[in-house]
Structure 1
Amino acid sequence: MKAATLAPVRAVLFDLDGTLIDSAPDLGAAADGMRVSRGLAPKPLDEYRPHAGSGARGMLHVAFGIGVEHVDYEAFKEEFFLRYEACLTQRTRPFSGVQELLESLVRRGLLWGIVTNKAFRFTSPIVRSLKLLDSASTVICGDTTSHAKPHPEPLLAAARQLALSPSQCIYVGDDERDIVAGRCAGMRTVAAKYGYLGQGARVASWGADAEVSSPLQVLQLLEPS
């Protein structure tokens, strides 16, 4: 853990995929189902996992080697969305330590919330299915505001919902765009190194105020120095 106390704070905001939950198995299954339906051999989850933070774009790149410039990308993306929507709560689980982390925040009288680029149509069923997320005081999705991360507006919207100033919040995420958004919003930031990160991620270059290797290490950052 890159240690630097972030106390005092009133709220802790989290990215969803790769920070609170491991959704890679369901994301990978949706993309791999597309491969199998076309007579292609399945791929192991380990190939999909590093790209899970990129959503449909990442999954389709692994499954078919295509990008947004491909003539069939939009059709493939819509098929992926339908397949993912049908399975998105089957294998998705919180990372180890997340339940204890959230329970501890509540016991300490701190607010917590979710700020994700995942669309509401996918976020809502996941949040409803995982009871440990019931205590979230705000959930901002990728289509809640007119901008997505790395723009700061989703984080600013969360702070407004909590009736807090951004300086009273910290934001925890596993992607550089999370750190950029948090810094631009005026929040202190924490890089979740246990998340998906992506290929060749240089976490130290993101400029986060702190780095953690497990969810529970976030609590150590909240202790007064």
Structure 2
Amino acid sequence: MTPVRTAILVSGRGSNMVSLLEAARDDSAFPAAFSLVVSNRPGVLALERAAAFGVPTDVIDHKAFADRESFDRALSARLEAAGIELICLAGFMRLLTPWLVEHWRDRMLNIHPAILPAFKGLHTHERALEAGVKLHGCTVHLVRSEMDAGPIIAQAAVPVLSGDTPDSLGARVLGAEHRLYPHALRLWASGRATLEGERVFVDGEAGAAAALIAPGL
């Protein structure tokens, strides 16, 4: 099977990006080949880290564009010129236009630091503690126009401990993210995960046993 040509979009330090690049480096059968890392912000740490893995990088500064769609079209053109087939958002801090989402429909993955559909948006760890939930975690999903929505590929859960702060809980969730994103990408890029309607089935099953991993439990 030829690995899927994959790009990673970043805006900051790129810790989830590194987890993906490490997975591909350490697994000769990894089903995705990382061909490009693009940042909308120049000078971010993720670009330096990607270069250390030997992955080509580029910057498309969103501040150079008059509106969101102009930026999104330039970004899409750059991805297509590189022969990209699949996109992984890894801390890409941009609201995507419906045009971009539909143009790359079912070819764009995102990771969110909560067990969706709970706690969409920002400050997920603070909100989880305020709500008193006993499990928190992260989700990898296909991107749709609504923020933090789309068919769920895989989720990971971590326990919420009595003495947790947003920082300590966030660190535990981040560790789960670093394991979950490569796992979910393997499922999707290999074809083991498939979409029927707006539900993802893994190896023909839609249940938690096929889609849930729970590091630390």
Bucket of the pairwise TM-score, normalised by the shorter protein = 0.3 to 0.5
Question: Normalising by the residue count of structure 1, what TM-score does the alignment of the two structures yield?
Answer: 0.43
Question: Normalising by the residue count of structure 2, what TM-score does the alignment of the two structures yield?
Answer: 0.44
Q: Higher helix fraction: Structure 1 or Structure 2?
A: 1
Q: Higher strand fraction: Structure 1 or Structure 2?
A: 2
Q: Which has the higher contact order (CA 8 A, sep 6+)?
A: 1
